[in-house]
Amino acid sequence: MKEFENKVAVITGGASGLGRAFADKAVALKMKLVLGDIREAPLQQAVTELKAAGAEVVALAGDVSKAEYIEALATLATNSFGPVHCLFNNAGVGSGGLIWENTVKDWEWVLNVNLWGVIHGVRTFTPLMLAAAKNDPGYEGHIVSVSSIAGLIAPGLMGTYNVSKHAVVAHSESLYHDLAKVQPRIAASVLCPGFTPTGISKSHVSRPAEMQNAERPTDSMIKAQDMVAKAVSSGRLTAVDVANITFDAIRDKQFYILSHPNFMKLVKVRLEDIAELRNPRDVFSLKD
């Protein structure tokens, strides 16, 4: 997709972090916006600020783990602006600790948001985008699903998050191949950012009541939370930087989007271990 003006972008997790940076970039490119987020007040604040900047924007609060919410978001988009051109499956949460200490609720919460949110987004919006491409020979679409560098490596104390983000990479690769067979005017990308100052380390504040643990966090969970918070806050690239990189990749139809090239050496370590049938090394112990 080379032209963005007057095109329609749907962004989940759009009230803050990477989602808000995607929204700001889309406004700068004169796109029309449909925002989703689980938090009503920050979402409405984002809408107010974006409208003040001249954006055409609508929004709907809800939980991406619920198929009916994503379907309602699609209905809102279509009724407000017509065909959707860009979908950003961005909503995500973080959790960690020793992998055997994570509870069933930990697993359900992380997988429901990080993986099922992407599944619901693709299942709902791809047929609509295919129909738009069939009806308009000039239509182009793009789906970006946000994974993480943790979707390409598997560091310790991040098991639930690693699993969810590896699944997003596999899902996106499958989507890429399937779209190429059916409609090459709709492209797909997977974004695997490194540590970026966003609210991911504080995502537990939006954890639904039914997904809360009765037990206190274990020592490993507390350690993982502190580790991620420190790494995220020290990130050298901002969410704005990552958004700029992502839109450049959309223009170029680039599938793998890595915001932090220095992490490639860690990805190569993992790939070499697999290729050589070596036991996996701790990639973070090798990081400068």
Confidence of residue 174 (pLDDT cuts 50, 70, 90): very high
pLDDT digits (tens, 9 = 90+) for 219-270: 999 998 888 888 777 777 999 999 999 999 999 999 999 999 889 999 999 9
For residue 8, pLDDT over 70 is answered with yes
Helix, strand, or coil (residue 70) = helix
What pLDDT is recorded for position 197?
A: 73
Confidence of residue 147 (pLDDT cuts 50, 70, 90): very high
- Residue type at 285 in one-letter notation: S
For residue 6, pLDDT over 90 is answered with yes
What pLDDT is recorded for position 161?
A: 96
Helix (H) or strand (E) holding 147: none
pTM for the full predicted model: 0.95
20's CB contacts (< 8 A; 6+ apart) are 14, 46, 239
Topology of domain 8-286, CATH: Rossmann fold (3.40.50)
Helix, strand, or coil (residue 165) = helix
Confidence of residue 171 (pLDDT cuts 50, 70, 90): very high
The C-alpha angle 222, 228, 234, rounded to 5 degrees, equals 135
For residue 160, pLDDT over 90 is answered with yes
Average pLDDT, the chain: 94
What pLDDT is recorded for position 107?
A: 97
What pLDDT is recorded for position 287?
A: 54
- What are the extents of the domains in the chain? 8-286
Which residue spans within 38-109 are E strands per DSSP? 57-61, 86-89
Q: How far apart are CA 65 and CA 111, in angstroms?
A: 9
For residue 288, pLDDT over 60 is answered with no
pLDDT digits (tens, 9 = 90+) for 195-231: 887 867 678 888 989 999 999 999 999 998 888 888 7
